[in-house]
Amino acid sequence: MILYHYTSLENFLSIWSSKTLRFSLSEKTNDIFERIKTFVLTQKTFIFDGKQLERNRFERFDRKISAELSKYRQVSFAYDYEEGLSGYASPMMWGQYAWTKDKNNNWQSGVCLAIDSEKIKLPTSKVFSHKILYKSTIESPFVENIDYTQENAAAFFVERNVETYFFTKHIHWKYENEYRFVSKEEGEIDISDAITGIYILWSDESPLDIIKTVVNQPNLINLLSLSNFKHSENNPYTLKEIDDLQELMKTYKF
């Protein structure tokens, strides 16, 4: 499966240099439900094995859950849309994630990386990964049937609810068509053998010259025109195809 990662030019240069994608905190996303994760604690919650627990056993449990949630990080991608639009050709995703301001506060076009999910080198520790489920209502997990006397109770609760916390989003975000990797222990994933394409918007403000200086593989670089966003069957040109065409034009006399 080919996944697409939209990013700024600055981030791309770092990614290309390290050939890794770093996990980021949920609290830094632009989705309020991701930044503020909730759960339900009620008096019913604090009954275990048919007995009411003493309050001093659970009064700090909510803080333990929050601390556990803060350990998880994620990497996000898009994938091809059902209606036929390629994952690299979403106008909204380009504007949202690959059109940013540089250090001089000037707007700058970024890139979209195409990555073969089968060739990503995952770490040995547990990494969760799959498509995001979009729902019209986001429900908070109810804390129940957990032995709060156990040291790993909070970790158990969060892992039991990984699907809700990290792979469920409000339907208003459906346009992102997101696929995600999530981990509590890892900081990055290795994509050194997984990059299949680099997509750039073809315009006067294109970062092509900068990218050409660091990517010496013209077959990897794809140039998108506005028509690529209007017609899903209109494939972009690779830089090599354009270079070959320019060389061919030099042989013609007009």
What's the mean pLDDT in 13-32?
A: 87
Which pLDDT score is estimated for 28? 74
pLDDT for 137-157, tens place per residue?
888 888 877 777 677 888 988
Which pLDDT score is estimated for 178? 96
Residue 166: pLDDT band (50, 70, 90) is very high
Which pLDDT score is estimated for 254? 44
User: 77 and 178 in contact (C-beta within 8 Å)?
Assistant: yes
What's the mean pLDDT in 88-111?
A: 85
Task: Write phi, then psi, for 145 (nearest 5 degrees).
Answer: 55, 40
CA distance 208 to 184: 36
Q: Is residue 237 scored above 80 in pLDDT?
A: no
By CB atoms closer than 10 A (0-12, 13-18, 19+), residue 251 is exposed
254: CB partners within 8 A, 6+ apart: none
- Domain parsing of the chain, residue ranges: 2-249
Which pLDDT score is estimated for 202? 78
13 DSSP 8-state letter: H
**E strands in the chain:** 2-7, 20-22, 24-25, 47-48, 51-52, 73-78, 99-101, 107-109, 111-116, 128-131, 133-135, 168-170, 178-183, 188-190, 195-201, 221-224, 237-238
Q: Which residue has the tokens 């050409």?
A: 212
The backbone region for 49, taken as left when phi is positive above 0, alpha when psi lies in -120 to 50, beta otherwise, is: left
Residue 249's Cβ-side half-sphere holds a number of Cα atoms within 13 Å equal to: 6
pLDDT for 120-143, tens place per residue?
998 877 899 999 999 998 888 888
pLDDT for 193-233, tens place per residue?
999 999 998 776 678 888 988 998 888 988 887 666 655 55
Q: Is residue 114 scored above 90 in pLDDT?
A: yes
CA distance 223 to 208: 9
CA 200 to chain centre: 18
User: 112 and 118 in contact (C-beta within 8 Å)?
Assistant: no
Indicate the pTM of the whole model: 0.84
And the tokens for 101? 């301001």
77 DSSP 8-state letter: E
Instruction: Give per-residue burial for 11-35: e unless 16+ CB within 10 Å, then b.
Output: bbbebbeeebbebeebeeeeeebbe
Mean pLDDT of the chain: 83
And the tokens for 221? 């670089």
